[in-house]
């Protein structure tokens, strides 16, 4: 349930109304002070709350029942777009943020070389996996804590905020110190115990859509994090599993405008994991920006042939530089900046 208050309702009165609702109905309230209106969201069992009774509140302009099971992530609860600040980046604002780097951190020299290159070219965030969940138990699993240490050193050297994937709730404390954005990979999108832990911290979370998960399920996973109090969630479309085998996954471009209509959270796209082939990353990245993505996560490696993880989909720095120029033109055409 949401209550849209009359324009000009003072904040102290909003707080009084929230206290009244919580005491009377045993629900949690979340006031949202928007640019055009103030909304109070009621979270909990609202099925027995009579709408007519709530409408008796003098400041209430409209009272609406929210049918969707996700509440805090719902645009009805929060009409204005949420922006997530990571360093100098305001994700969800006019500027399209590009996060680039290798699939996996392989050595201190490797991540530093790539970080210097992507920063020079224009990326404003660095991606790099230290813990790598792989389909095969024999594939490179990442450098783990050592990889996080290298990422932290590179962050200090380059100033680039770091994004890296978490795989286990036990890693939360380590990630709090070493990275700026904690990524939840596709395989862990419905690892609810991990999501609950991430809801208790105050650090941005990049939540990737699972291989075979619906948009609604993605939003419910975001709700798990937000219900714990962490509202800094960035959604990421990274391709879903379909019958098609020409690409590694099928990039669901339509998910971008659909998510934008359903939620206030910013939306990233990972064209690298969707494509599986470096040659396909460019058109998918440009399509994502044209469709309204707030950011891109792109794999870049200075020597893809020798990469320990996902080399075929990684761009070399020169190819990444050419792509960035094209992305800037696409962003400008749709009223955004790169």
Residue 111 has pLDDT above 80, yes or no: yes
Q: What are the boundaries of each domain within the chain?
A: 2-64, 84-333
Query: pLDDT for 126-141, tens place per residue?
Result: 999 999 887 788 788 8
Other CB atoms closer than 10 Å to residue 334's CB: what's the count?
11
Look at 61-70, 232-241, 277-286, 316-325 and tell me which has the smallest mean pLDDT.
61-70
**Predicted pLDDT at 32:** 86
CA 247 – CA 148 distance, rounded (Å): 30
CATH topology agreement for domains 2-64 and 84-333: no
Mean pLDDT across 262-271: 98
**Predicted pLDDT at 35:** 74
Phi, psi dihedral angles at 45 (to 5 degrees): -85, 100
What residues have CB less than 8 Å from 322, skipping those under 6 apart? Answer: none
- 């450098």: which residue's tokens? 143
CA 11 – CA 37 distance, rounded (Å): 12
Q: What percent of the chain has pLDDT over 70?
A: 100
Mean pLDDT across 206-214: 97
**Predicted pLDDT at 235:** 98
Given pLDDT bands bounded at 50, 70 and 90, which one contains residue 148? very high
What's the per-residue H, E or C state across 161-229?
A: CEEEEECCHHHHHHHHHHCCEEEECHHHCCCHHHHHHHHCCCCCEEEECCCCCCHHHHHHHHHHHHHCC
- Higher-pLDDT residue of 288 and 66 is 288
**Predicted pLDDT at 44:** 82
**Please, is 330 exposed, middle or buried when counting C-beta atoms within 10 Å of its C-beta (0-12, 13-18, 19+)?**
middle
**Predicted pLDDT at 112:** 97
Nearest CA-CA partner of 272 in 295, 306, 238:
238
**2-64 placed in CATH 3.40.1160.10:** no
Average pLDDT value for the chain = 94
Other CB atoms closer than 10 Å to residue 93's CB: what's the count?
16
Residue 244 has pLDDT above 80, yes or no: yes
Query: pLDDT for 31-59, tens place per residue?
Result: 988 777 899 989 888 888 989 999 999 99
CA 27 remoteness from chain centre: 28
Residue 274 has pLDDT above 90, yes or no: yes
**Predicted pLDDT at 30:** 87
Given pLDDT bands bounded at 50, 70 and 90, which one contains residue 310? confident
**Predicted pLDDT at 315:** 98
**Predicted pLDDT at 170:** 93
Look at 37-41, 144-148, 261-265 and tell me which has the smallest mean pLDDT.
37-41
Mean pLDDT across 5-28: 92
CA 264 remoteness from chain centre: 11
Given pLDDT bands bounded at 50, 70 and 90, which one contains residue 155? very high
What residues have CB less than 8 Å from 18, skipping those under 6 apart? Answer: 29, 31, 40
Phi, psi dihedral angles at 35 (to 5 degrees): -70, -25
Mean pLDDT across 298-322: 95
**Predicted pLDDT at 37:** 81
Q: Which fold has domain 84-333?
A: TIM Barrel (3.20.20)
Q: DSSP class of residue 304?
A: G
| Residue 140 contacts residue 309 (beta carbons within 8 Å) | yes
| Residue length of the chain | 338
CA 259 – CA 243 distance, rounded (Å): 23
**Please, is 56 exposed, middle or buried when counting C-beta atoms within 10 Å of its C-beta (0-12, 13-18, 19+)?**
exposed
Mean pLDDT across 102-113: 96
Residue 214 has pLDDT above 90, yes or no: yes
**Predicted pLDDT at 273:** 94
Strand 2-5, strand 38-43: pairing: antiparallel
Residue 147 has pLDDT above 80, yes or no: yes
């Amino acid at each position: 349930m949401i209550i849209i208050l009359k324009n000009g309702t003072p904040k102290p009165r909003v707080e009084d109304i929230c206290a009244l609702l919580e005491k009377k109905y045993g629900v949690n309230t979340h006031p949202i002070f928007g640019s055009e209106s103030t909304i109070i969201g009621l979270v909990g069992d609202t099925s027995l709350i009579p709408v007519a009774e709530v409408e008796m509140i003098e400041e209430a302009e409209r009272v609406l029942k929210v049918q969707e099971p996700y509440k805090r992530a719902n645009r009805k609860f929060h009409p204005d777009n949420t922006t997530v600040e990571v360093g100098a980046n305001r994700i969800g604002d006019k500027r399209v943020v590009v996060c680039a780097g290798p699939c996996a951190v392989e050595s201190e020299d490797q991540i530093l070389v790539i970080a210097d290159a992507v920063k020079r070219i224009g990326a404003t965030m660095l991606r790099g996996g230290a813990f790598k969940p792989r389909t095969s138990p024999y594939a490179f699993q990442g450098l783990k804590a050592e990889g996080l240490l290298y990422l932290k050193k590179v962050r200090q050297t380059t100033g680039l905020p770091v994004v890296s994937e978490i795989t286990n709730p036990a890693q939360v404390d380590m990630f709090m110190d070493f990275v700026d954005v904690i990524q939840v990979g596709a395989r862990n999108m419905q690892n609810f115990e991990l999501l609950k832990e991430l809801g208790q911290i105050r650090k941005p979370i990049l939540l990737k859509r699972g291989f075979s998960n619906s948009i609604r399920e993605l939003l419910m996973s975001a709700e798990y994090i937000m219900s714990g109090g962490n509202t800094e969630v960035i959604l990421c479309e990274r391709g879903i599993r379909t019958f098609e085998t020409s690409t590694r996954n099928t990039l669901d471009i339509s998910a971008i405008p659909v998510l934008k209509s359903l939620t206030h959270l910013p939306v990233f796209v990972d064209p690298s994991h969707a494509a599986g082939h470096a040659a396909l990353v460019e058109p998918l990245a440009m399509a994502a920006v044209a469709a309204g993505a707030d950011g891109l996560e792109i794999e870049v490696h200075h020597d893809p042939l020798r990469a320990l993880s996902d080399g075929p989909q990684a761009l070399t720095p020169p190819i990444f530089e050419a792509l960035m120029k094209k992305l800037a033109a696409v962003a400008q055409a749709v009223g955004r900046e790169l």
